[in-house]
Amino acid sequence: MTMDMTFLGTGSAYPSPHRGASALVLRTEGECWLFDCGEGTQTQLMRSSLRAGRITKVFISHLHGDHLFGLPGLLCTVSLNTNPDPEQNLNCVDIYGPRGLRNFLRVTLGLTGSQLLFPYAVHELEPTPEQSPEEGQLSLEVCEVSDFCPPHPQERPGRKITLDVSSDCYLLFEDKKFVAKAFRLFHRIPSFGFCIQEHDRPGRLKTELLKELGLKPGPLYGRLKNGESVTLESGRVVLPTEVLEETIPGRKVCVLGDCSSVVGDTPLSLCHRADILVHEATLGDEHRERAVDHGHSTPEMAAAVARACCARKLVLYHFSQRYKPSSLRKEGDDDDVCELKRQAEEALQDSGVEVTLAEDFLTLPIPLRKSR
């Protein structure tokens, strides 16, 4: 199964003509999962090779506008480009994000009379007090009050997801291919990271060996591949481990929202050996104090997380708009975004972690793993 990630917006605070506001898409065969949706994401999607209509899941890391203000418009535009036959639109778009997100959509879609042709559900994560300073929790007042707001006609019941105390994380969903979890970050308002873990898949059948054992292609092959033992007419029991090549390990992709740190150690263990760890680096290390004051990270701080969880690749994004993309930078300009990469690389010397600088429309393939 092919898998890749495309950055639609890599700027912080607001969208600009040279950097979109936060948004990226994880694509697996036929499905697009959107992480954050700053203003202008729908236009960035149109500029990319992705199709907005393929978005089946949305993950919102936190409720700051530069990660969220594009969502109502995106849903409306997807709907405008949707087949108007209701029979064709039964698939629910699942939206995961912090408490308050459901009412944000109710009010923005409701007050604007926005009609949607497809159903959607908002699954809200309950933050904990460790995720933000006290004043960061104020916005929940608004949230509680607007609970009176009636649901959109296309809203389906969503879950309230609380921190699972034993695992110290939030289980978002598990299906045949993936398990998705969220974990806690510290920011000015509660922020989350997401860990998408592909299940390991059984290795290929050793067909030569199966033929030697007298087994012909058919349903028994499927049972073996599914991990069941098979008894031959001779009475010989064939174990799956005998006839399957090595398990193909699943890939792991972790996307962290805005943060100046993770909360506890669980995020590090959840992200252990991630193929891709996407971490913000809003400002250079020389502005560390300012970054932390605003709940943000520098390349060195991102690198420390990547090192602690032994990530394979650290991808930096969410750059202050002062850092222009390299292609637009002129000689003598301050604020070289490549300097952010150098800072992370320096902090990751001898760690084996590769550093990539995200730019709008960068697509990173996520190849199948060959080993753990």
Q: Is 266 helix (H, G, I), strand (E, B) or coil?
A: helix
Residues 6+ apart with CB under 8 A from 204: 244, 245
Among 89, 146, 266, 269, binds its own copies (CB under 8 A): 146
Structure tokens at 36: 């954050």
Least distance CB 352 / its own copies (angstroms): 38
Footprint on residues 1-30 left by its own copies (CB under 8 A): 13-17, 21
Least distance CB 364 / its own copies (angstroms): 23
Nearest to its own copies of 42, 197 (CB atom): 42
Burial class (CB in 10 A: 0-12, 13-18, 19+), 86: exposed
Active-site annotation holds for 275:
no
DSSP state of 368: P
Question: What is the enclosing helix (H) or strand (E) of 198?
Answer: strand 191-198
Residue 307 has φ and ψ, to the nearest 5°, of -70, -45
Footprint on residues 172-231 left by its own copies (CB under 8 A): 188-189
Among 90, 148, 165, 208, binds its own copies (CB under 8 A): 148
Residue 256 half-sphere exposure, CB side, CA atoms within 13 Å? Answer: 34
CA distance 350 to 225: 40
Indicate which residue of 36, 66, 94, 285 is catalytic.
Answer: 66
Interface segment toward its own copies; rule CB under 8 A; list 88-96, 131-139, 174-182, 363-371: 131-139
Footprint on residues 81-100 left by its own copies (CB under 8 A): 100
Least distance CB 132 / its own copies (angstroms): 9
Interface segment toward its own copies; rule CB under 8 A; list 59-67, 273-281, 308-316, 356-364: 59-67
DSSP state of 230: E
CA distance 147 to 149: 5
Footprint of its own copies (CB under 8 A): 13-17, 21, 39-40, 42-43, 46-47, 63-66, 68-70, 72-73, 76-77, 80, 100, 103-104, 106-108, 110-114, 136, 138-139, 141-143, 145-146, 148-150, 188-189
Residues designated as active site: 66
